[in-house]
């Protein structure tokens, strides 16, 4: 497979970036490259919702940072929404070249629970693999362990695995580059 360009918009711990790189390489048999990106996120902030417009951010990341051969994912730490949902963990162009994922709603502390860095990292990795799966044409899956299963709440993310089910893996392998 091609290269996956990961672009961080903000600070992420090296330990997290190393784990993301390793798991994404394994999931897609892809070469991972890293860049830092800069956007004035204020342009995408909706004061009435106190959140950032995921659709508009995805579009600008695709236009400004999307690689010509391969896939691009923008990593963020902001609260994302799309008009039809209260919040989202990520967004992707189905069978497109770009997607985004945010870790904003993935920490236990956000829900009044004790911190668990490992759990937060695992949640973020699953969401990154999930969104990249969409860029390779995969849709939501009903298999309970599949990383492509839809996640409405963090509990949904915790219940699914980091890997593709056999059907999604088979479809992933057959998508042309």
Residues noted as catalytic: 131
Q: Which two tokens stand for residue 17?
A: 């970036």
Helix (H, G, I), strand (E, B) or coil at 78: coil
d(CA 26, CA 63): 27
Q: Which DSSP helix (H) or strand (E) runs through 33?
A: strand 31-36
Max CA pair span of the chain: 44
CB-based burial of residue 142 (10 Å sphere; 0-12 exposed, 13-18 middle, 19+ buried)? exposed
85 contact partners, CB below 8 Å, separation of at least 6: none
Q: Which two tokens stand for residue 122?
A: 């695992």
């Amino acid at each position: 497979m091609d290269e996956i360009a990961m672009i961080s918009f903000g600070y992420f711990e090296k330990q997290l970036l190393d784990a993301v790189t390793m798991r994404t390489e394994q999931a897609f048999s892809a070469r991972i490259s890293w860049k830092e990106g800069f956007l004035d996120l204020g342009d995408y902030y909706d004061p009435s919702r106190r959140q950032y417009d995921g659709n508009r951010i995805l579009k600008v990341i695709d236009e400004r940072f999307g690689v010509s051969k391969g896939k691009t994912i923008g990593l963020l730490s902001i609260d994302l929404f799309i008009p039809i949902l209260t919040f989202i963990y990520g967004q992707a162009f189905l069978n497109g070249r770009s997607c985004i994922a945010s870790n904003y709603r993935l920490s236990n502390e956000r829900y009044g629970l004790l911190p668990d860095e490992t759990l937060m990292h695992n949640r973020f990795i699953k969401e990154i693999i999930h969104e990249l799966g969409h860029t390779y044409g995969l849709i939501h899956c009903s298999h309970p362990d599949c990383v492509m299963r839809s996640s409405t709440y963090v509990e949904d993310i915790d219940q699914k695995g980091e890997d593709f089910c056999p059907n999604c893996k088979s479809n992933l392998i057959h998508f042309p580059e």
